[in-house]
């Protein structure tokens, strides 16, 4: 799908020491939920394609100007279609004097929105493109969980790698599906799948997207198409060398199979995921997989 068509949902529009605090922010946000964009240019193509397969797959930009690597600020996010209505969650918690683990700037602010904005600020500082892209996937997930669809669309538009962007598109598709916007959901799933056609995409990326699409299609009761996506993901997962990544993909497949009504297949997939997780040698990667 062309960039022009993509603009229906996405507006036109980096080291490692910064990645850890960003992850901590997102994990913090997730804990609170548990309680009640761009074709490649030649100079960056090789760097983006070297996303290590062992990189963990699971990972609200409220200030609308997201700094690019050259220091410029992207154009403000375009207004979404006025015909769609989006809800925003009620505030969960406010920071008090006794809350010493959050930066002082969060004092007296709605905690989830504040922490997501801190994560967005950290994302601006990541110079490595693929690390920044993965961080934006995390941001998209948090923003959608917070009900901020506009910020999630903006974050997705900032992802440079079109294949990685597909995973964020799938998350947005799922958001729309959950809100009964099935036509938008179907189009976004189709767009995400179009990003991984051909032989350039790595097996783990393809399996990741097919597993996510299977889940979304099953939610829309497109059962035959969902089964095709799930079966494709299963055929691709065996091509992934890293055991921790295999574990994560099998876990995603299990969720899709359960949504499809295949409880036996889901149990088999999650058992396989646990097996590969336990066989992962590195404790850090093993813990992430688990």
**CATH number of the structural domain spanning residue 218:** 1.25.40
CA 107 distance to own-chain centroid: 28
**The total number of structural domains that make up the chain:** 2
User: Of the spans 73-87, 107-121, 184-198, 253-267, which averages the highest pLDDT?
Assistant: 253-267
Q: How far apart, in whole angstroms, are the C-alpha atoms of residue 150 and residue 77?
A: 8
Q: Are 12 and 113 found together in one domain?
A: yes
Q: Answer for the pair 205, 249: CB distance below 8 angstroms, yes or no.
A: no
State yes or no: pLDDT of 211 exceeds 80.
yes
State the average pLDDT over residues 114-131: 90
Residue 133 has pLDDT above 50, yes or no: yes
In a domain, 171, yes or no: no
Is the pLDDT at 156 greater than 60? The verdict is yes
121/203 same-domain check: no
What span, in angstroms and rounded, lies between the C-alpha atoms of 222 and 216? 9
Q: Print burial letters for 177-199: b (CB count within 10 Å at least 16), e (below 16).
A: bebebeebbbbbbebbbebbeee
pLDDT at 55 over 60: no
Nearest to 190 by CA among 37, 4, 5: 5
What region, left, alpha or beta, does residue 242 occupy, with left being phi > 0 and alpha being psi -120 to 50 degrees? beta
Q: Give me the pLDDT at residue 36, please.
A: 35
High-pLDDT (> 90) share of the chain, %: 53
Domain of 5 in residue numbering reads as 1-39+49-79+90-160
**Predicted pLDDT of residue 130:** 86
Helix, strand, coil % in the chain, rounded to nearest 5: 60, 0, 40
Q: Which residues have C-beta within 8 Å of that of residue 205, sequence separation ≥ 6?
A: 51, 163, 164, 166, 196
**In the numeric block, which tokens belong to residue 20?**
């850890």
Judge whether 176 lies within some domain: no
pLDDT higher than 90, residue 97: no
Do 219 and 272 sit in the same domain of this protein?
yes
Q: How far is residue 62's CA from residue 143's CA, in Å, rounded to a whole number?
A: 10
* Lowest-confidence segment of 50-54, 153-157, 286-290 by average pLDDT: 50-54
Question: Concatenated DSSP letters for 63-130?
Answer: SS-PBPTTS-BPPPPPPPPTT-----PPP--B--TT--SS-GGGTTSBHHHHHHHHHHHHHHT--SHH
Do 147 and 194 fall into the same domain? Answer: no
Mean pLDDT of the chain: 74
Spatial contact of 203 and 239, defined as CB atoms under 8 Å apart = yes
Burial pattern 230-254, b for ≥16 Cβ within 10 A else e, equals bebbbebbeebebbbbbbbbbbbbb
Q: Is 84 exposed, middle or buried (0-12, 13-18, 19+ CB in 10 A)?
A: exposed
For residue 2, pLDDT over 80 is answered with: no
In a shared domain, residues 105 and 208: no
Tell whether 96 and 187 lie within a shared domain. no
């Amino acid at each position: 799908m062309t960039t022009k068509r993509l603009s229906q949902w996405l507006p036109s529009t980096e080291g490692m020491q910064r990645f850890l605090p960003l992850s901590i922010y997102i994990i913090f946000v997730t804990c609170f939920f548990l309680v009640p964009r761009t074709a490649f240019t030649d100079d960056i193509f090789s760097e983006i394609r070297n996303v290590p397969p062992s990189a963990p797959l699971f990972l609200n930009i409220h200030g609308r100007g997201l700094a690019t690597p050259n220091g410029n600020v992207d154009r403000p996010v375009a207004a979404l279609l006025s015909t769609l209505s989006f809800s925003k969650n009620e505030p969960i918690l406010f920071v008090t004097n006794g809350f010493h683990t959050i930066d002082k700037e969060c004092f007296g602010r709605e905690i989830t929105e504040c922490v997501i904005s801190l994560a967005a600020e950290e994302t601006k500082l990541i110079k490595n493109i693929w690390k920044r892209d993965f961080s934006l996937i995390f941001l998209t997930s948090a923003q959608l969980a917070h009900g901020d669809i506009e910020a999630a669309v903006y974050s997705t538009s900032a992802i440079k790698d079109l294949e990685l962007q597909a995973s964020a598109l799938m998350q947005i598709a799922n958001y729309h599906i959950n809100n009964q916007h099935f036509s938008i959901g179907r189009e976004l799933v189709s767009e995400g799948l179009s990003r991984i056609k051909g032989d350039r995409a790595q097996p783990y990326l393809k399996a990741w997207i097919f597993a996510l699409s299977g889940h979304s299609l099953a939610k829309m009761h497109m059962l035959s198409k969902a089964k095709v996506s799930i079966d494709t993901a299963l055929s691709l997962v065996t091509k992934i060398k890293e055991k921790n990544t295999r574990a994560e993909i099998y876990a995603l497949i299990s969720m899709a199979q359960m949504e499809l009504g295949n409880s036996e297949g889901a149990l088999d997939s999650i058992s396989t995921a646990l097996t590969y997780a336990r066989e992962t040698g590195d404790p850090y990667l093993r813990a992430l997989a688990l």
